[in-house]
Amino acid sequence: MAPLKPVKSLYDSCMSNVLLSLQSYLDKRPDDISGLKKLLLTLLHGGIREQLIERAILQNRAPTSSAILDIIELLADSSVKQLQFSSAQSGFSSRELFDTLNASNITGLNKLNLKVQVDKFEMLHTSYQFDVFAGGLHNALRLGLASNLRVLTLHSAADNITLSILGKHATQLTYLDITSSWYVDDNGICDLLLKESSNFINEHWSDLDSSEPRAIHALSLFPESQKNQTCNTLSEVKIQDTNTSSISVLLLLLFGKRLKSLGGFLYSRNIGDAILTVKSCANSPPSLELTELWDTQLPFEKLSRLASYLPKLTTLYTRVACLPPVPNILPPLKNLTADFDFVCYNSEFFGYLQYNG
C-alpha cells in the first residue's frame, strides 16, 4: 500500500494564501497601509492575526527583517495575546522591533518569548550593542507591554533594568525565564521582587550569602508595602547562576509566595539549604508551595527536614546516593531524575523503588 501523503487542511491553505497575498502587497512598499490595516483589524479575529504573524516569523529567521516588521505593523494591535521570536546575532540591532510593537499598541500580550541566540563571549564583549537592544525592550515594557504579561521568556535578552521594570509594571506575571541572561545579578532579582531595597542587599551581601541569622531575619521582616506584586504572582522562575549568588535563590524562596518551581542554570546553587534558611525565619510560612526541587546535596537528615516543608513536591532531581532508604520520607513523586555519578548504585536505587515505585 502506498504511503499516505499529508494534505493541508482548508484552514491551513487559506492562512498560507492570505499571508502570501499580504507579503506580496507589502513587497510593493506602499506609502500608506493604514486603510488596509483598519480593514484587516475589522475583518480578522485577533487569534487569526496572531497566527498569521507567527507564520511570518517562522518563515524568517531574524525578527528584525522588514518583512516581519511590516506584517506586525499591519496585523497587530492590543487584541494579540502572544508573540514568539528567536533571533540570530543580528537581533541585537532589533530596536526597530520594539518601536513597531509600541506603534502597534501591543499592550494586551499575555505571552512573549524572545530568544537571542548569541554565545557568552559575544555577549560579554558587545555591551554597547546589548544596551541598544535592551533600550528598546525597556521602553516597550514601560509603555504598556509589561502590564498584561503572564508568561515571559527572555533568553540572553534581560538585564537588571529589565527586571526592575517588570517589578514595577508586570502585575500579572506568573512565569519568568531569563536563563542565559548574563547581565542579571542579585540586584536585578531584588528589584524584581522588592521596592528600592537593593541598598540593603549590597550592604549586607556577605551576611546574606553566608545565611547570617540576623541579616536573614531583617530581610524576612520587610513590610508588604515594600514588596512588588510579582511576589504574589510568580509561580515559576528560571534564572542563571552566572553573576547571581545564593542570595537570589533566597530572595525568590522567601518572597515568592506562590512559587512552585525554581530552576534554570542553577548547577552551583544549593536550593535545599536556602529552603531550610527560609524555614528558620520567625515569620516563615508553615510550608512552601514548591512542587519541584533540584538539589544534589541531600543527606538523609536534610532530606527529611525538607520533605516536611514541601508537602506538594512532585518532581525531584538529585543523586541516587541521596535517595531515602526507607519509605514515607518524600511525598509521592511524579517525576524523578537521579544521577548515578558514574557509580553503581543499583542496590540503593532499587531499594528506593521498592517502597516508592
| Confidence at residue 326, expressed as pLDDT on a 0 to 100 scale | 81
Look at residue 314 and tell me if it is in a domain.
yes
- Average the pLDDT over 123-149 and give the result: 78
Separation in Å, CA 277 to CA 38, 224, 248, 271: 56, 20, 13, 10
Q: What is the C-alpha separation between 268 and 336, in angstroms, rounded?
A: 20
pLDDT above 50: residue 90: no
- Contact between 19 and 50 under an 8 Å Cβ cutoff? The reply is no
In sequence order, which residues have a C-beta less than 8 Å from that of residue 200 and are 6 or more positions away?
Answer: 218, 219
Q: C-alpha grid cell for residue 12?
A: 491551513
In sequence order, which residues have a C-beta less than 8 Å from that of residue 98 and are 6 or more positions away?
Answer: 136, 137, 139, 140
| Confidence at residue 267, expressed as pLDDT on a 0 to 100 scale | 66
pLDDT (tens digit per residue) in 297-324 = 888 899 999 988 999 999 998 888 888 8
Burial letters 303-312, b for 16+ CB under 10 A, else e: beebbebbee
| Confidence at residue 281, expressed as pLDDT on a 0 to 100 scale | 86
Q: Report which residue type is found at 238.
A: K
Look at residue 355 and tell me if it is in a domain.
yes
pLDDT above 80: residue 354: no
What percent of the chain is predicted at pLDDT more than 90? 42
Other CB atoms within 10 A of residue 284 CB: 15
- Contact between 215 and 191 under an 8 Å Cβ cutoff? The reply is no
- What is the DSSP secondary structure assignment for residue 86, as one 8-state letter? E
| Confidence at residue 148, expressed as pLDDT on a 0 to 100 scale | 95
- Contact between 186 and 194 under an 8 Å Cβ cutoff? The reply is no
Look at residue 278 and tell me if it is in a domain.
no
Q: What is the C-alpha separation between 98 and 31, in angstroms, rounded?
A: 21
- Contact between 244 and 267 under an 8 Å Cβ cutoff? The reply is no
Look at residue 32 and tell me if it is in a domain.
no
Look at residue 302 and tell me if it is in a domain.
yes
- Average the pLDDT over 54-62 and give the result: 76
Q: Per-residue confidence at 268, pLDDT binned at 50, 70, 90?
A: low
Look at residue 300 and tell me if it is in a domain.
yes
Range of the domain at 348: 296-357
| Confidence at residue 53, expressed as pLDDT on a 0 to 100 scale | 92
- Average the pLDDT over 207-230 and give the result: 90
| Confidence at residue 294, expressed as pLDDT on a 0 to 100 scale | 86
- Contact between 36 and 71 under an 8 Å Cβ cutoff? The reply is no
Look at residue 344 and tell me if it is in a domain.
yes
| Confidence at residue 339, expressed as pLDDT on a 0 to 100 scale | 85
| Confidence at residue 92, expressed as pLDDT on a 0 to 100 scale | 38
The rounded Cα 120 to chain-centroid distance in angstroms is: 19
Look at residue 342 and tell me if it is in a domain.
yes
pLDDT (tens digit per residue) in 142-154 = 999 999 999 999 9
Q: Report which residue type is found at 69.
A: L
* Total count of domains within the chain: 1
Q: Which residue has the higher pLDDT, 326 or 305?
A: 305
Q: What is the C-alpha separation between 228 and 336, in angstroms, rounded?
A: 33
Q: What is the C-alpha separation between 351 and 141, in angstroms, rounded?
A: 52
Of residues 133, 127, 129, 117, the one with CA closest to residue 62: 117
Q: Which residue has the higher pLDDT, 346 or 357?
A: 346
The edge-to-edge listing of strands for the beta sheet with 292-294 is: 292-294, 315-319, 335-339
| Confidence at residue 321, expressed as pLDDT on a 0 to 100 scale | 84
Q: Per-residue confidence at 349, pLDDT binned at 50, 70, 90?
A: confident
